[in-house]
Amino acid sequence: MAVTDVAEVEAAASRFREDYERTRNEIRKAVVGHDEIVDGVLVCLFAGGHALLEGVPGLGKTLLIRSLSEALELDFSRIQFTPDLMPADITGTTIVVETEHGREFQFRRGPLFAQIVLADEINRATPKTQSALLEAMQERQVTAGGVRHPLPSPFFVLATQNPIEQEGTYPLPEAQLDRFMFMVTVTYPDEQQELEIVQRTTGGTMAEPSPVLTGDEVLALQRLVRSVPVADHVARYALRITRATRVREPSPKPTIVQQYVSWGAGPRASQFLVLAAKATALLAGDTHVTPEHVKAVALPVMRHRIICNFNAEADGVTPDDVIASLLETLPVESADDETSRQMDTVMK
């Protein structure tokens, strides 16, 4: 890479961090604490993925998402998921209307046709309704009556869900979970943060975020993330993490996976590991992705793609424990190791 290219990448990374910080600061006007959660949501947005936030009611999940929508000049839509919600209530429906040419079928768009969609308490709707998001999240389109309707761009789904142990919840289907780049766990604030929340919400008017980025600017940042280079040995490290969780593949598996995992992560996990690591690299001011960037995003990318068995439940082992163990034990291949491996392949 030429020096001028390096300078251009560094300048682009600097602009990325500036836009990121401006958006983050606007969200902070309304949201107290939750810095890691805000970072996770923003990394997801700029990497072009979708995010799922899990936590008990009252932790500010909806406020965070609404604040993000206010910090961006994007169309925003909120869908409150309930047990009686139907798929057409989300995607839209085809109706018969009277026109000057007689009766015609017209598609009336649902609330899904927005640039930022809040799927609030998504696991309180039935799996049938949850699955209405599958095509939209993957293909960025909705098919109704055999006609494809493209969704606006950028398109970002932010969903919240309550822990499945709570009453009135339905587990998200694995195919639905796999569409989310990140699953972020929202925890209780510490005492000082909770005091600030109480003071803000029981006093006078609260500060509101102001728009700092347009849709075109968000798209430009997403293209910038994709342009960050990734060496083969780093991409292989991401694959190694993902493939190590697949107990049904014949290759040897780490002991913790053999004991506690019943189903592992698919190819989307590898894709999202690399994409999220690219955004993380830009935030760190780096011009390329390293294994450390992959490690930094492994938990939110992988935790909802690993299904543990009854042994894990009995021993108190969670998907986070499995991922942490893999990050500690899996070897990180260097660029020299990659070159040597390729040479051995050629010689054979």
Phi, psi dihedral angles at 103 (to 5 degrees): -80, 135
Least Cα distance to 70 among 208, 183, 196 occurs for 208
Supply the pLDDT for residue 344. 47
Supply the pLDDT for residue 341. 52
Residue 297, burial from CB neighbour count under 10 angstroms (0-12, 13-18, 19+): buried
CA dist., res. 268 & res. 242, Å (int): 9
Query: What is the chain's pLDDT, residue by residue, as a tens digit (348 residues)?
Result: 333 466 777 787 888 889 999 998 888 888 887 788 889 999 999 999 999 998 877 777 888 888 888 888 888 999 999 889 998 899 988 787 777 777 777 888 889 999 999 998 888 888 888 888 888 998 999 988 788 889 999 999 999 887 765 666 788 888 889 999 999 988 888 888 888 888 887 876 677 888 888 889 999 999 999 999 999 999 999 999 999 999 877 777 889 999 999 999 999 999 999 999 999 999 888 888 999 999 999 999 999 999 999 999 999 999 999 999 999 999 887 655 555 555 444 444
DSSP string, 87-133: HHHHHEEEEEEEETTEEEEEEEE-TT-SSEEEEETGGGS-HHHHGGG
Supply the pLDDT for residue 5. 64
Write the DSSP symbol of residue 169.
-
Q: What distances in angstroms separate CA 71 from CA 28, 40, 63, 116, 182, one per listed residue?
A: 10, 16, 12, 12, 21
Q: What is the torsional sign of CA 70, 71, 77, 82?
A: negative
Contact 244, 330 (CB under 8 A): yes
Supply the pLDDT for residue 338. 54
Supply the pLDDT for residue 166. 60
Supply the pLDDT for residue 3. 39
Q: Strands of the chain (E only): list them.
A: 51-54, 72-73, 76-80, 92-99, 102-109, 116-120, 141-144, 147-150, 156-161, 182-185, 213-214, 261-263, 307-308
- Name the token pair of 99: 């026109």
Supply the pLDDT for residue 115. 92
Supply the pLDDT for residue 343. 43
What domains lie within the chain, and their CATH numbers?
229-348 (1.10.8.80)
- Name the token pair of 143: 């098919």
CA dist., res. 190 & res. 138, Å (int): 37
